[in-house]
Amino acid sequence: MVYVQIALLLVSLGLLGVFLQSTLYHYRGRFRAWQMWVPVIETPIFALLFILSAFSVIIAGWTLYLSIVPIISGMLGVYYHYKGIKFLTGGFNLDNVLLGPPIILPLMVTILPMIGAAVIAIVIYGFI
């Protein structure tokens, strides 16, 4: 069980890093669209949920099902970032990928909760 707690705490730490990075990038973008608030609000909430899930099976059960929210919003973030790069002068090219909104950051909003949900599912459904 210690490995499960360490994995969930590492997922939480990753989500807090994504929170800091997305807050800085979206602050730089002046929070033009309301969608820019989503990762700023949800990543610390889910970081806290994964921390609490490391110590409570009941919260872990809820977190398993609630994890669909950041997974879907991260996928939508990839779409919005792709759309933002595409509308830069020159369209979708390497220069605009490097200078435009980062595509990898919303992927992290998707991947980290997927990892946390997988760890919780493995524990709850008895694979360990």
Domain ranges of the chain: 2-124
Rounded to whole angstroms, what are the CA distances from 60 to 3, 24, 74? Answer: 15, 30, 21
How high does pLDDT run on average in the chain? Answer: 96
Tell me how far apart the alpha carbons of residues 25 and 27 are, in angstroms, rounded to a whole number. Answer: 5
- pLDDT bucket at 77, cuts 50 / 70 / 90: very high
User: For the whole model, what pTM was predicted?
Assistant: 0.94
Tell me the HSE value of 80 on the side-chain side, using a 13 A CA sphere.
Answer: 17
Average pLDDT over residues 45-53: 98
Is 90 exceeded by the pLDDT of residue 127? no
Is 80 exceeded by the pLDDT of residue 68? yes
- pLDDT bucket at 1, cuts 50 / 70 / 90: confident
Tell me how far apart the alpha carbons of residues 119 and 50 are, in angstroms, rounded to a whole number. Answer: 10
Average pLDDT over residues 5-11: 97
Pairs from 81-88 (Cβ < 8 Å, separation ≥ 24): 81/105, 81/106
Is 90 exceeded by the pLDDT of residue 17? yes
User: What pLDDT score does 126 carry?
Assistant: 83
Q: Which residue has the higher pLDDT, 99 or 126?
A: 99
